[in-house]
Structure 1
Amino acid sequence: MKLSRREKVAYGVGAIGKDMVYAFVSGFLFYYFNTVLGISATFIGIVFMGARIFDAFNDPFMGIVVEKTNSRFGKFRPWILIGSILNAVVLYFLFSMPTSLSGNPKLIYAAVVYLLWGITYTMMDIPYWSMIPAITDSGKDRESMSVIARSCAGVGFALPTALTLTLVTQLGADNKREGFRYLAIIIAVIFVIALTITASNVKERNRFQGETPTIKDMFRALVNNDQALIVVVSVVLFNASLYLTQQLALYFFQFDIGNEELYSVFGTVGGAAQILAMMCLPIIRKKFEMKLIFTGAIVTAICGYIFLFLLGTLNVTNLILLCLAALIIFIGFGLATVSTTIFLADSVDYGEWKSNQRNESVIFSLQTFVVKLSSAISVLLAGIGLDVIKLDVTAETQTEGTLLGLRLLMTILPLIGLSLAVYIFRKKYRLTESFLKTITKENKERFIMHREMRRMDKVLSEKEIDEILYHASYGVLSTIGEDGIPYGVPISFVHEGNRIYFHSAVEGHKLDNIQFNNKVSFCIVTDVETIPDQFNTKYMSVILFGTVSEVSEEGKTKVFNLFLEKFSHEFMESGKDYIKKAGKNARIFQIDIEHIKGKGKKG
């Protein structure tokens, strides 16, 4: 499935808009609630974590809702538009708490509006990311789309990180409360425009879904997709590490360095490094497998944190050296972020291969949940940590112990998280490139086999199919050879259970083809009657797909007897004598039926 340049650009624009919102909320809402509104850091952390526990149920449910949507605009685009508009409205109220509120009403307002923001963001984010596996195939096409999306998301994330504090000061005329409110309005408008561009220009592709699953089936598919869960655990660990640094960096520059506006420089360097790393992935990809790239990315980030830890331990506050640490850390996170998007998309293919259900939205609901869960964990740790080290947001200076604790929170905890992430991933993730090629090939074959009939009124029942298989004398076996040329040959057959049996000479064209590729199709047509005056034909037909294997010597007698019962049942004894003489010059093969369907015009 090739995407046009227009579609790629439109999808990237959406990533910029939505990640501007996410960066604004995840990077500055904690700071806004804590330092501008004066809400306790521990309370904020608990509220954010509680909202994520709610998301543990809401996100997969939203994935299921999207999966079951079947509108004339598709299943993804309607939710992208609805979610972006609602989330933009909630974003405004999130940064526009009435000044009349205080005490418990203030806390309730903050908690409820933040919960609503998470719900409405999920409505947009799950269908957005779910489009990647739905509109691309695994391999270069998917990797290219993931790089575009994640690079643009990096741009969107970097913009608020670099400009928020400056714009808040300018828009609010030194009134941070008003500055945040005006900036929220600007970001909300950009957000809606960007996602409207995506929904208007990216065309949805129809993909085989198998039978429509129940909610229970989809939760089972989610739990049983072990590779998706491994990716999720790894992402939670390394994202929580990244977000913890981002949450505390603003406090670090304000209270340790003494200049909070330098945070913009730190964030800009980190954001630029992250985007550059994402854009370089296709080049790196030419020499290394994705699993190795991900491992190298995490190790790179670990090295950056070790460097940052040494700077903190030695009380080095030189901005150039701190930005160098940011450069190393965010290069690692840039590569890892794109990698995990690709891994999660690949796990959708794996889930289809394993369970015969392609649940993009359910699996990608994990990505939205994981990002928010990681953010919540980091905020909870940051909130409790800031209170434990006794950081006073109203004080102009902090104690040495407080500053040391701040540096340790920024380095040691992320190091632990990253080390666990790379260990779990290396040990449990097994979707190698060769395995993915096999999965993609088999999924495409299954898609061809399961294509729905255009005329559903002609579909035959299982009973009618069985009748045709029992009474028909012959069918056409279709194979393909090493030269790529298809070959169809009429053969007599018998049917028992989920298998078709046929006999053959010891060598021949069809056997050469079967040896090259044992996947075949078999077609039977019976009860054919032309209707000249109606320019039509009555018929009954069956087509099946399956794999061929040879029946062992021990099983040949049973199959020969099935042929006698079907074609020569009045001459069983003489037939058995004939088989004893001629059977050694024949080979018996079976087709294990993987999919079968019937079609007919009865009257």
Structure 2
Amino acid sequence: MANTLQHQKDGRVGLGEKLGYGVGDLASGLMLNFFGFYLLYFFVDLGGLAPAAIGLMFLITKLIDAVTDPMMGVLADRTRTRWGRYRPYILFAAIPLGLSMILIFSAPEDMGGTALLIWAYATYSLCMLAFTAANVPYGGLLGVISPSSEERSRVTAYRMFFSALGGILVGALGTTLVRELGAGDERLGLLLTISCIAAVSVACLLTTFATTKERIPPVEQNGSVAGDLGVLLRTGPWIAVAIAAILGVTSIAARAATAPFFFKYVAGDDGSPVFLFFDRPALFLTSLALGQVSGVILGSIAARWFEKSHMLIVAGLGMAAFIMVFYALPLDAVWPQTALQYVIGIGFGMLMVLSYSMFTDIAEYIDWKTTRQMTALVIAASVFGVKAGVGVGSFIPGAALDLTGFVAEGQQSELALMGIQFAFAFIPAALLLPAAFALAFYGINREVLAEAEIDLSRRRARLA
């Protein structure tokens, strides 16, 4: 009992450290929301590239991530430094990540065709590699910041708050910054805005490095890489949450990537403000992000009484239903659309905060069952899930636009408009159904976690 009480005490994370860890995900929130909304638009509508070519880029980079993310997880799990296993990578990857973000939108204005396509593939791939180097260890740090599942869940809530804050800032200020900084030059506005985001992102990651600790000591020697991968792929709960995370993020990313085309070509929006300085795309993104914050808070509180997997099933099915209600509304129903997008955001916030918390629970569950510490490898699934979701979600509108005859900056056919609607509503709603189904096989409940924590506490006390 004394060992357990000491374990609980040592596992506490102070407010400053929670904020310091959480702010690191503001970097991801800013980058991924900006990319999700503007990247396809930048290369297709402004750059004149074929939507399918950019959509294929998103898919190819995710195939690369399927290799590099687990490799990064394996490397971080086996790293031993005076700064810990995971924190050094956050420190050294921060600046390369910021520079690579800027590089994507630095394509010369007169560059087009094959040269611009090569630029897009090269710079985006480089940025995703830098993101892997920073974000997989960042996720792994969450798994060792405390031996307590409840405390990790609280830290996760801070992380998801800052992630959602990134969406709020991009939604509320993104279109305004692009418009004002560019002074009529949209390409310049995008470059200057992403430069501001990159600077903030680097500062956030450096803050995380400086303010956090790793509280779970590493084992003297990890198992083999092949053995770790084999255990992971045989762990049903990890497979269930990975599927749900990938499909959930894909759904939201597809809507975000399609939104500029939906509002411009389907809704006929001219970019004028409809509320203060918010135009319709800004309202769309901001309401989603505000809902995400609410979902993070709601999910964190409700997790004290309800099973995480059960809440995610309800959230996923609810998101699918509300996406279809959004589709059924009149195109000029600005405020009902905004309200529905807020509700959809609540479900997405719950998906993010609970799934990330479940990944750390799975890492502890594997440690308990197998004595293998493979936190970053398990967490790599969450990073890959987000990137795969964003990539596939951006591929969906790219493919839909290409197949239905979309014409950049031109008059769209009825078929092209229907393609935009499919990518914006039908496909995102459909993706959430198998995500909810997968979670029915999660299998780790509160009682199992409590038993695992007690046993691991005793084991670590004996080794201390």
TM over 0.5: yes
Deviations 1:20-54 (A, max 9, x none): 12222232111111111111110001011001101
Residues 241 and 415 in structure 1, CA contact (< 8 A), matched pair in contact too? yes
2:302 to 241, 259, 284: 284
Name the structure 2 match of 1:325. 340
Higher RCO (C-alpha under 8 Å, 6+ residues apart)? 2
Give yes or no for contact 1:210–1:450 (8 Å, CA) kept in 2.
Answer: no
**TM-aligned CA deviation for residue 100 of structure 1:** 4.3
Question: Are 2:35 and 1:25 equivalent residues in the alignment?
Answer: yes
Alignment partner for residue 425 of structure 1, among 439, 445, 459? 439
Given candidates 347, 355, 377, the residue that maps to 2:392 is 377
Aligned equivalent of 2:311, options 293, 298, 306 = 293
Please give the residue correspondences for 1:354-433 in structure 2 after superposition, counting only pairs within 5 Å.
354-395=369-410, 397-426=411-440, 428-433=441-446
Offset of residue 69 of structure 1: 1.4
Asked if 2 retains the 8 angstrom alpha-carbon contact of 1:27 and 1:161, the reply is: no
- Please state whether the residue corresponding to 1:398 is helix, strand or coil: coil
The question of whether the paired residues in 2 share the 8 Å contact of 1:91 and 1:117 is answered with yes
Q: Residues 48 and 112 of structure 2 are in contact (CA less than 8 Å); yes or no, is this contact kept in structure 1?
A: no
Q: Aligned partners of 1:435 and 1:392: how far apart in 2? A: 55
**Post-superposition offset of 1:208:** 4.5
Report if aligned partners of 2:98, 2:198 keep a CA contact under 8 Å in 1. Answer: yes
Q: Kindly tell me: are residues 398 and 143 of structure 1, through their superposed partners in 2, closer, same or farther at Cα, counting changes over 3 Å? A: same
Q: Is the 8 A contact 2:296 2:349 kept in 1?
A: yes
Q: 1 or 2, which has the higher strand percentage?
A: 1
Q: Does 1:343 align with 2:358?
A: yes
Task: Report the CA distance between 1:356 and its aligned residue.
Answer: 0.9
Corresponding residue number in structure 1 for 2:237: 227
The one of 135, 138, 149 aligned to 2:159: 149
Which residue in the other structure is 2:286 paired with?
A: 268
Contact kept in structure 1, 2:181 and 2:189, CA below 8 Å: yes
CA distance in 1, matches of 2:443, 2:220: 25
Q: Which amino acid aligns with 2:176?
A: T
* 1:164 aligns to 2:178 (yes or no): no
CA distance in 1, matches of 2:37, 2:369: 38
Structure 1 Cα separation of the partners of residues 26 and 85 of structure 2: 22
Q: Given the alignment of the two structures, is residue 57 of structure 1 paired with residue 46 of structure 2, yes or no?
A: no
Alignment partner, residue 24 of structure 2: 14
Aligned to 1:241: 251
Determine if contact 1:18/1:195 at 8 Å carries over to the other structure: no
Which deviates the most, 371-380 or 115-124?
Answer: 371-380
Distance 2:182 2:37 in 1: 19
Q: Which digits, 9 at most, give the CA deviation of each residue in 1:464-496, with x for residues without a partner?
A: xxxxxxxxxxxxxxxxxxxxxxxxxxxxxxxxx
Q: Write the distance in 2 (CA, Å) between the matches of 1:285 and 1:104.
A: 50
Q: Is the Cα–Cα contact under 8 Å of residues 256 and 403 in structure 1 kept in the other structure? A: yes
Distance 1:406 1:344 in 2: 34
The answer to which of 143-152 and 21-30 deviates more is 21-30
Secondary structure of 2:409's aligned partner: coil
SS of corresponding position for 2:215 = coil
Cα-to-partner distance string for 1:403-444 (whole Å, 9 max, x where unaligned): 233223222112221111111211x11001111111222222
Instruction: Please say which of residues 146-155 and 136-145 is displaced more in the overlay.
Output: 136-145
Q: Partners of 1:57 and 1:285 in 2: how far apart?
A: 33
Q: Structure 1 or 2: larger helix share?
A: 2
Write the letter of the residue equivalent to 1:369: F
Q: How many Å apart are 1:210 and its aligned residue?
A: 5.9
**Equivalent runs, 1:518-529 vs 2, <5 Å:** none
Cα distance in 2 for residues equivalent to 1:210 and 1:196 = 28
Q: Indicate if the aligned counterparts of 2:177 and 2:189 stay in contact, CA closer than 8 A.
A: yes
- Kindly report which structure 2 residues correspond to 1:156-195, keeping only aligned pairs within 5 A, or say none: 156-195=166-205
Letter of the structure 2 residue corresponding to residue 441 of structure 1:
I
Q: After TM superposition, give the deviation of residue 218 of structure 1 in Å.
A: 2.5
- Are 2:167 and 2:286, in contact at CA under 8 Å, matched by a contact in 1? no
Say whether 1:209 aligns with 2:224.
Answer: no
- Given that 1:231 and 1:425 are in contact with CA atoms closer than 8 Å, whether structure 2 keeps it comes out as yes
Aligned to 1:101, the other structure's residue is in SS state coil
- 2-structure distance, mates of 1:220, 1:291: 24
Q: Does 1:136 align with 2:156?
A: no
Q: 1:437 to 1:206 in 2, by over 3 A?
A: closer
AA in 2 matched with 1:327? Y
| Aligned partner letter, 2:190 | F
**Structure 1 alignment gaps of length 5 or more:** 452-603
Q: Distance in 2 between matches of 1:249 and 1:106?
A: 23
**C-alpha separation between the residues in 1 aligned to 2:282 and 2:331?**
19
RMSD: 1.6
Answer whether contact 1:171 1:178 (CA < 8 A) is retained. yes
Letter in 1 for 2:416: T
Q: Give the structure 2 partner of residue 448 of structure 1.
A: 461
**SS at 1:174 equivalent:** coil
The residue aligned with 1:599 is none
Relative to 1, partners in 2 of residues 1:376 and 1:142: Cα closer, same or farther, differing over 3 Å?
A: same
Segment drifting more, 284-293 vs 11-20? 284-293
In 2, the alpha carbon distance for the partners of 1:389 and 1:233 equals 29
Q: Write the deviation string for residues 115-149 of structure 1: whole angstroms up to 9, x where unpaired.
A: 00000000000111111120123432121111111
Q: 1:437-470 CA deviation, whole Å, 9 max, x = no partner?
A: 112222222223444xxxxxxxxxxxxxxxxxxx
CA distance in 2, matches of 1:135, 1:357: 17
SS at match of 1:3: coil
CA contact (8 A) 2:242 2:385 kept: yes
Q: Which runs of 5+ in 2 are unaligned?
A: 1-10, 272-278
Contact 2:167 2:285 in 1 (8 A): no
Q: Distance in 2 between matches of 1:70 and 1:438?
A: 29
Which aligned runs of 4 or more in structure 1 are off by greater than 4 angstroms? none
Code of the aligned partner of 1:430: G
The answer for the alignment partner of 1:307 in structure 2 is 325
Q: Which amino acid aligns with 1:92?
A: I
Q: Quote the residue 1:434 is aligned against.
A: 447
Residue 400 of structure 1 and its aligned partner are, at CA, apart by: 3.5
Q: Is this contact kept in 1: 2:146–2:216, CA < 8 A?
A: no
1:189 CA displacement: 0.8
Equivalent residue letter for 2:314 = G
Q: Deviations over 1:235-254 (max 9, x none)?
A: 11111111111111121111
Using the alignment, how far apart are the partners of 1:133 and 1:54 within structure 2? 25
Given the superposition, is the C-alpha separation of residues 226 and 449 from structure 1 closer, same or farther in structure 2, using an over 3 Å criterion?
A: farther
CA distance in 2, matches of 1:216, 1:286: 36
- Counterpart among 75, 87, 104 of residue 77 in structure 1: 87
**Aligned CA distance change for structure 1 residues 294 and 138 (closer, same or farther; 3 Å):** farther
C-alpha offsets along residues 202-248 of structure 1, whole Å, 9 cap, x if unaligned? 12224243632232232223223321121101111111111111111
- Corresponding residue of 2:4: none
Q: Is the deviation greater in 127-136 or in 441-450?
A: 441-450
Contact 1:165 1:264 in 2 (8 A): yes
